[in-house]
């Protein structure tokens, strides 16, 4: 089972459109504002990012990339599995949205890093050791 969250960072601390952790149902995306220097959208994946959830994930990423923010951070720290197809899809978005917000990845597990490496996608993204670094860059 996987959960995909959409968090939009802006300095106020409230929830966007009435959503947030208290209103989360199942694996539906939700948004929460966080305090950072520039406005960022964070897309967080918990569990497995495979064919079963990739359509919802990339729909969420595409909406984030079309927003008026400075950066979109893909938080894969809680992702246990990243399919090779999903890794390639991240690389495609990096090139497709080159004029949009900066797309960043924070990956935690060795399996996720391996999928990014094997597909050649890792070299397209700067390496951020933490969410704080990715959000503050």
Q: pLDDT tens across 71-93, in order?
A: 999 999 999 999 999 999 999 99
Phi, psi of 76 (to 5 degrees): -105, 15
What does pLDDT average to over the chain? 79
Give the C-alpha separation, 90 to 117, whole Å. Answer: 12
58: confidence class by pLDDT, cuts 50, 70, 90: very high
Strand pairing category for 3-9 and 40-49: antiparallel
**pTM, to two decimals:** 0.76
């Amino acid at each position: 089972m996987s959960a995909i969250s959409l968090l939009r960072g802006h300095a106020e601390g409230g929830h966007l459109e009435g959503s947030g952790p208290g209103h989360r149902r199942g694996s539906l995306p939700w948004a929460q504002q966080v305090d950072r220097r520039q406005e960022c959208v964070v897309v967080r994946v918990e569990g497995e990012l495979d064919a079963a959830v990739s359509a919802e994930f990339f729909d969420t990423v595409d909406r984030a990339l079309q927003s008026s923010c400075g950066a979109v951070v893909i938080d894969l720290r809680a992702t246990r599995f990243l399919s090779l197809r999903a890794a390639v899809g991240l690389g495609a978005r990096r090139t497709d949205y080159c004029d949009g917000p900066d797309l960043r990845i924070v990956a935690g597990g060795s399996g996720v890093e391996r999928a990014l490496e094997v597909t050649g996608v890792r070299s397209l993204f700067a390496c951020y050791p933490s969410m704080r670094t990715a959000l503050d860059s």
